[in-house]
Amino acid sequence: MKKKLIGFSVAGALLLGSAGVYASTNSKTLEVFYNIKNIKIDQVSKMPEEKPFTYNGTTYVPLRFISEQLGSPVEWDSANQTINIGKTNDKSAFYPGRDLEYMNFQKSSFDNSYKYSSNKDTISDNIGNKYSNYITIKNIFGSGVWSLLEFPLNGQYSTFKSVLGLTEYGKDIPKPLTLEVFLDEKLIETYTVSAGDMPQEIEFKLKGVNKIGFKLSSQSGGVYSEVGLFDARFYK
């Protein structure tokens, strides 16, 4: 069994492959063992150029190598000190919570609420898909309640895209919900969302539009009603 003393910064580079992450301070020397002779993926031998090693009973393999062999590219986001594996943000898109904020929220019930996020946490739809970019609108208790969430566009955007569906939190609604979409206060689309419906992709053209509004109406008393605009994004 071969063993070797390596610097901590080198170990970090090996763990992440060519993702470009290195320890720059507080470096120290580690004793590691190069005792991995082979890696098999789907019964096919595939060894990375950077040799895997064992340290304190844990085997370290280049993250980029494993990720790409399994079909999921890896990317280092230096601005947020985050490693992204698989799908990442659309570089040409603008996201609520990162690139634009809401301008108005109206509600018929005190308990109604909204939330939107860009890569700060995750939320699940009613079939278990997870999203880190989303808008949610929630109506709580009472029949015939509604909520309206608006975002300013100022004529800067051409397209809005999202996946509309129930959140995991609100998937068991007894009666359908209605989501209306307004462009400059003009109703341009109405969706009905029921328990068990599959999430659906939606898209709107926004040329010259100054604001977009999403109005959720519910008819069920005494339950939580919540829809999600998952992976909500705007394009210029």
Taking residue 65's Cβ as centre, other Cβ atoms within 10 Å add up to 22
Q: Which residues pair with 130 in a beta bridge?
A: 124
The answer on 127 and 197 residing in a single domain is yes
Average pLDDT, the chain: 82
Same domain, 128 and 207: yes
Average pLDDT over residues 23-51: 74
pLDDT tens for residues 149-190?
A: 999 999 999 999 999 999 998 888 888 999 999 999 999 999
- Residue that has been written with the tokens 């699940």 in this structure: 124
Residue 5 has pLDDT above 70, yes or no: no
Q: Is pLDDT at 13 greater than 60 in this prediction?
A: no
- pLDDT (mean) for 131-140: 93
Question: Helix, strand, or coil here: 12?
Answer: helix
Same domain as 156, residue 226: yes
Is residue 15 domain-resident?
Answer: yes
With H, G, I as helix, E, B as strand and everything else as coil, classify residue 99.
coil
How many domains, the chain?
2
| Domain assignment of residue 99, yes or no | no
Residue range 181-229, pLDDT digits in tens? 999 999 999 999 999 999 999 999 999 999 999 999 987 665 788 999 9
Q: What is the reported pTM?
A: 0.66
Q: How confident is the model at residue 79 (pLDDT cuts 50, 70, 90)?
A: low
How much is the pLDDT for 102? Answer: 97
Percent of the chain residues past pLDDT 90, beyond the cut:
47
Q: Which domain holds residue 45?
A: 2-85
pLDDT band at 9 (very low <50, low <70, confident <90, very high): very low
More reliable by pLDDT, 88 or 147: 147
Mean pLDDT of 64-75: 71
Q: Look at residue 95 and tell me if it is in a domain.
A: no
> Does residue 112 or residue 53 have the better pLDDT?
112
Q: pLDDT-based confidence at 18, cuts 50/70/90? A: very low
The answer on pLDDT for 20 being more than 50 is no
3-state secondary structure of 128: coil
**Residue 77 resides in a domain:** yes
159 and 66 part of one domain: no
Buried b (16+ CB within 10 A) or exposed e, 155-188: eebeebbbbbbbbbebbebeebbebbbbbeeeee
Tell me what the mean pLDDT of segment 35-58 comes to.
80
Range ranked top by mean pLDDT from 12-16, 53-57, 196-200: 196-200
Whether residue 33 is found in the same domain as residue 108: no
Give DSSP secondary structure letters for 181-201. Answer: EEETTEEEEEEEE-TTPPPEE
CATH number at residue 143: 2.60.120.1060
pLDDT value at residue 91: 67
Residue 86 has pLDDT above 70, yes or no: no
